[in-house]
Amino acid sequence: MEMMSATPSPTSSPDGKTIAYESSGVQMYNDEGDKEIYRMSAFDGKNKKNLTNNGADVNDSYPVYSPGGQRIAYHTYGQQTSNLDGDYDVYRMSASDGTGQKNLTDGKEGVDNEYPFFSSDGTKIFYESQGIQDSNLQGDHEVYRLNTSDGLGQKNLTNNDANDRVFPD
């Protein structure tokens, strides 16, 4: 079975043709200068595209490719229609054009969901969650998973009173 590990940003697409990365600062297609996820040709840096061009103060970062390369999962913070409380949530979108953006972890205010990575078949996303919620009464760091397609099937995999981390920030 083919497996996937999470990768840092900038990250190479599975076929090696594209690099996804995070960029901030006022530039073409990003008048607000907040953090956006771009993609470009891995060969020469051409064909840059802002995949998450979504208004001021919505900061999108940490892109990771699905095993097949069709999707990018990422985390974002800042208020938008799909994230009214503006906390960190895990999204997914089309890797080619940024369409189909979906907040997979929209829930209780003040719960931060970050650092997604895909299962080997791409159907699940693992991530780190922090903040008090029904499945995490202590509100400490826990490792969760959910369905890539609809965000359902959320499960706290490490439910205990200690911190469980996939990412050491």
Partner 1 sequence: MATRATTQGIEGRSKRRGGLLLTLALGAALAGVAAMGGVATRADAAFTEKVVFASNRTTGTGVNNPTGDFEIFRMNPDGTAVRQLTANGVDDFGPVLSPDKTKVAYLSYGKQTSNPEGDLEIHIMNASDGTAKRNLTHNRAGVDDYYPIFSPGGKKIAYTSTGKRASNPEGDAEVYVMRSLDGTGQKNLTNNGLEVPGDYPVSDYASDFSPTGDKIAYVSLDKQGSNPEGDAEVYRMNALDGTAKENLTHNGDDVGDTFADIIS
Residues forming the site for partner 1 (CB under 8 A): 1, 3-12, 14-16, 19, 21-27, 33-35, 38, 40, 42, 44-45, 48, 57, 59, 61-62, 75, 77-78, 112, 115, 117, 119-120, 124, 126, 130, 143, 145, 155-169
Residue pair 76/51 in contact by the 8 Å Cβ criterion: no
How near is the Cβ of 137 to partner 1 at its closest, in Å? 16
How near is the Cβ of 13 to partner 1 at its closest, in Å? 8
How near is the Cβ of 9 to partner 1 at its closest, in Å? 5
Q: Nearest Cα to 142, choosing from 124, 151, 154?
A: 154
Q: Nearest Cα to 19, choosing from 42, 38, 46?
A: 42
Q: Nearest Cα to 86, choosing from 106, 116, 67?
A: 106
Residue pair 38/25 in contact by the 8 Å Cβ criterion: no
- Is the Cβ of residue 44 or residue 150 nearer to partner 1 in the bound state? 44
